[in-house]
A and B are shown apart, each in its own frame.
Chain A
Amino acid sequence: MRTALLIAALLGGSSLAQAKMIHVGPGGNAQEKLQTALIEAQPGDTVHIAAGRYALADGLSLDVDGVTVKGDGPDKTILDFTAQKVAGEGLLITSDNVVVRDLGIENAAGNGVKSKGSDGIALVNLRVEWTGGPKSTNGAYGLYPVSSKNVLIDRSVVKGASDAGIYVGQSQNIIVRNSRAEMNVAGIEIENSYDADVVGNTATNNAGGILVFDLPDLPQQGGRNVKLVNNQVIDNNHVNFAAPGNIVAGVPSGTGIMVMANANVMVTGNHVMGNNGSAVMVVAYTQAFTDKAYNPLPRAVAIAGNHFMNNGKSPSFAGGKEIAAAVGGTLPPVMWDGVTRYNVPGGGEKSADGGIASDAPGITLNLGLQGTPAAQARPAPLAATRLTADRAAIVLPAALEARAK
Chain B
Amino acid sequence: MRRIWAALLLLGAAPAPGVRSDLLMATDAPKLADYGLFDAAGRPAPGVQPYTLNTPLFSDHAEKFRFAWLPPGTRAEYRASGALAFPVGTVLVKRFAFPADLRQPTKNLRAIETRLLIHRPAGWVALSYVEQDGGAVLKRAGVKVPVQFINKAGRAQAIDYAVPNQNQCKTCHQDGEAITPIGPTAGNLNGGHGTNQLMTWAASGRLTGLPAAGWPRLAKWDDAAEPIDARARAYLAVNCGHCHSRGGFASNSGLYLVPEETMPAHLGVLKRPVAAGRGSGGHEFSILPGQPEKSILLHRMTASEPGIMMPQFGRALAHDEGVDLIRKWIAAMPGPAGAAPAAAAAP
Q: Which residues of A contact B341 (CB under 8 A)?
A: 287-288
Interface residues of B in 115-147 (CB under 8 A from A): 140-144
- B165 within 8 A of partner (CB): yes
Interface of B is mostly: loop
Interface residues of A in 212-256 (CB under 8 A from B): 215-220, 242-247, 252
Q: Is the beta-carbon distance between A374 and B347 smaller than 8 angstroms?
A: yes
Contacting A36 at CB < 8 Å: which of B140, B265, B266, B313?
Answer: B140
State in angstroms the CA–CA spacing of A136 and B251 once bound together.
Answer: 25
Interface residues of A in 31-80 (CB under 8 A from B): 31-32, 35-36, 38-40, 57-59, 61-63
Q: Is the beta-carbon distance between A245 and B284 smaller than 8 angstroms?
A: yes
| Smallest beta-carbon distance B338→chain A, Å | 11
Contacting B273 at CB < 8 Å: which of A138, A246, A320, A365?
Answer: A246
Contacting B165 at CB < 8 Å: which of A39, A147, A283?
Answer: A39
A309-333 CB contact bits vs B (8 Å, 1 = yes)? 0000000011110000000000000
| Smallest beta-carbon distance A24→chain B, Å | 12
Interface residues of B in 247-299 (CB under 8 A from A): 249, 251-252, 254, 264-266, 270-285, 296
Q: Which residues of A contact B279 (CB under 8 A)?
A: 110, 140, 243
A246-280 CB contact bits vs B (8 Å, 1 = yes)? 11000010000000000000000000000000100
State in angstroms the CA–CA spacing of A144 and B273 once bound together.
Answer: 16
State in angstroms the CA–CA spacing of A47 and B246 once bound together.
Answer: 32
- B34 within 8 A of partner (CB): no
- A284 within 8 A of partner (CB): yes
- B210 within 8 A of partner (CB): no
Q: Which residues of A contact B278 (CB under 8 A)?
A: 136-140, 162, 243
- A392 within 8 A of partner (CB): no
State in angstroms the CA–CA spacing of A39 and B142 once bound together.
Answer: 11
State in angstroms the CA–CA spacing of A318 and B345 once bound together.
Answer: 8
Interface of A is mostly: loop
Return the chain B residue nearest A288 by Cβ.
B341
Return the chain B residue nearest A161 by Cβ.
B277
Known: A163-B275, A163-B277, A245-B283. A88 touches B312 (CB 8 A): yes
Known: A136-B278, A137-B278, A245-B280. A218 touches B254 (CB 8 A): yes
Q: Is the beta-carbon distance between A243 and B162 smaller than 8 angstroms?
A: no
- A3 within 8 A of partner (CB): no
Q: Is the beta-carbon distance between A116 and B249 smaller than 8 angstroms?
A: yes
Q: Which residues of A contact B168 (CB under 8 A)?
A: 61, 87
Contacting B284 at CB < 8 Å: which of A40, A217, A244, A283?
Answer: A244
Q: Which residues of A contact B274 (CB under 8 A)?
A: 169, 215, 218, 247
Q: Which residues of A contact B344 (CB under 8 A)?
A: 286-288, 370-373
Contacting A110 at CB < 8 Å: which of B280, B282, B306?
Answer: B306
Contacting A286 at CB < 8 Å: which of B170, B171, B346?
Answer: B346
Q: Which residues of A contact B346 (CB under 8 A)?
A: 283-284, 286, 337, 339, 365, 367, 371-374
- B305 within 8 A of partner (CB): yes
- B307 within 8 A of partner (CB): yes
| Smallest beta-carbon distance A278→chain B, Å | 8
- A211 within 8 A of partner (CB): no
Q: Is the beta-carbon distance between A146 and B345 smaller than 8 angstroms?
A: no
- A207 within 8 A of partner (CB): no
- B160 within 8 A of partner (CB): yes
| Smallest beta-carbon distance B179→chain A, Å | 10
Chain A residues with a Cβ closer than 8 Å to the other chain, count: 77
A142-163 CB contact bits vs B (8 Å, 1 = yes)? 0010110000000000000011
Q: Which residues of B contact A317 (CB under 8 A)?
A: 347
Q: Which residues of B contact A284 (CB under 8 A)?
A: 346
| Count, A-B residue pairs, CB within 8 A | 185
A178-208 CB contact bits vs B (8 Å, 1 = yes)? 0000000000000000000000000000000
Q: Is the beta-carbon distance between A139 and B171 smaller than 8 angstroms?
A: no
- A84 within 8 A of partner (CB): yes
Q: Which residues of A contact B265 (CB under 8 A)?
A: 216-217, 290-291
A363-392 CB contact bits vs B (8 Å, 1 = yes)? 001010011111100000000000000000
Return the chain B residue nearest A163 by Cβ.
B277
Known: A61-B168, A219-B251, A291-B265. A375 touches B272 (CB 8 A): no
Q: Is the beta-carbon distance between A87 and B312 smaller than 8 angstroms?
A: yes
- B343 within 8 A of partner (CB): yes
- A111 within 8 A of partner (CB): yes
Q: Is the beta-carbon distance between B142 and A58 smaller than 8 angstroms?
A: yes
Q: Which residues of A contact B142 (CB under 8 A)?
A: 32, 35, 58
Interface residues of A in 105-147 (CB under 8 A from B): 108-111, 116-117, 136-141, 144, 146-147
Q: Is the beta-carbon distance between A116 and B252 smaller than 8 angstroms?
A: yes
State in angstroms the CA–CA spacing of A170 and B251 once bound together.
Answer: 11
Q: Which residues of B contact A339 (CB under 8 A)?
A: 346
Q: Is the beta-carbon distance between A39 and B140 smaller than 8 angstroms?
A: yes
A282-319 CB contact bits vs B (8 Å, 1 = yes)? 01101110110000000000000000000000000111
Q: Is the beta-carbon distance between B347 and A337 smaller than 8 angstroms?
A: yes
State in angstroms the CA–CA spacing of A31 and B265 once bound together.
Answer: 39
| Smallest beta-carbon distance B263→chain A, Å | 9
State in angstroms the CA–CA spacing of A346 and B234 once bound together.
Answer: 30
| Smallest beta-carbon distance B153→chain A, Å | 23
Interface residues of B in 327-347 (CB under 8 A from A): 341-347
| Smallest beta-carbon distance B71→chain A, Å | 28
Q: Is the beta-carbon distance between A246 and B254 smaller than 8 angstroms?
A: no
Contacting A219 at CB < 8 Å: which of B246, B270, B285?
Answer: B246
Q: Is the beta-carbon distance between B254 and A146 smaller than 8 angstroms?
A: no
Can you give 17 A-B contacts (C-beta < 8 A)? Answer: A39-B165, A86-B306, A86-B316, A94-B167, A109-B305, A110-B306, A139-B277, A140-B276, A170-B252, A215-B272, A219-B246, A246-B276, A288-B341, A318-B345, A367-B346, A372-B346, A373-B344
A-B CB proximity, top 9 nearest:
A140-B277, A288-B341, A110-B307, A245-B280, A109-B306, A109-B307, A61-B167, A35-B141, A371-B344
Besides the known contacts A111-B277, A162-B277, 15 further A-B residue pairs in the complex with CB atoms under 8 A apart: A35-B142, A88-B307, A109-B305, A138-B278, A139-B278, A140-B276, A144-B275, A146-B275, A243-B282, A244-B283, A245-B272, A245-B276, A245-B282, A245-B285, A284-B346
Residues of B within 8 A of A (CB): 140-144, 160, 162, 165-168, 170-171, 177, 246, 249, 251-252, 254, 264-266, 270-285, 296, 305-307, 312-313, 316, 341-347
